[in-house]
Amino acid sequence: MPIEIKSEKVIPRSATAIWRLIEPAADLAKWLPLAERSELLSGTGAGRRQRIHAKWGNRAVQIDQEVIEYKPNDILRWRHVNELVDGRPAPAISKEVIVSVRLEPAGTATNVILLSQNTPGNILKALLITLMAKPRIRRAFDQALENIERLTA
């Protein structure tokens, strides 16, 4: 059963304006605080491959992702396909990580929902995700929503 981390905010912008910011793989680092740098690896839409570079503490992290759901002005969802820490395979804490950005109409505004679903490898790993990763991801999501609002103003 996945551990879910969710943040949402009604932003007084159109879904189209928000989509223009969140959709390009190369722009993920502009609004998502967990990413220091991001890049498109290949493809467009569903099946697109992208990569983010981040820091976890003082360690360099590289996460390759595949877009698994893509509906313009509605949803962008990706899954982690490969994770490296300091250039080596990351410890397998989650069996699967899926992240999504959903845009829902809210009158003339848009409700932006960020969701991370982390399926832990075992009960100990579930505890690690809950105690260590979940608070950090929630803070990053809250900041991401602020960034989206500011960058689409």
Task: Quick: pLDDT tens for 95-116.
Answer: 899 999 999 999 999 999 999 9
Tell me the domain boundaries of the chain. 3-151
Enter the pTM of the model. Answer: 0.92
Q: Average pLDDT in the 14-27 region?
A: 97
User: pLDDT-derived band of residue 129, with 50, 70 and 90 as boundaries?
Assistant: confident
Record: fold of 3-151 = Alpha-D-Glucose-1,6-Bisphosphate; Chain A, domain 4 (3.30.530)
Burial bucket for residue 106 (CB in 10 Å: 0-12, 13-18, 19+): middle
Q: Report percent pLDDT > 90 for the chain.
A: 77
Q: Average pLDDT in the 23-46 region?
A: 95
User: pLDDT-derived band of residue 55, with 50, 70 and 90 as boundaries?
Assistant: confident
Cβ partners under 8 Å of residue 41, min gap 6 = 25, 49, 50, 51, 64
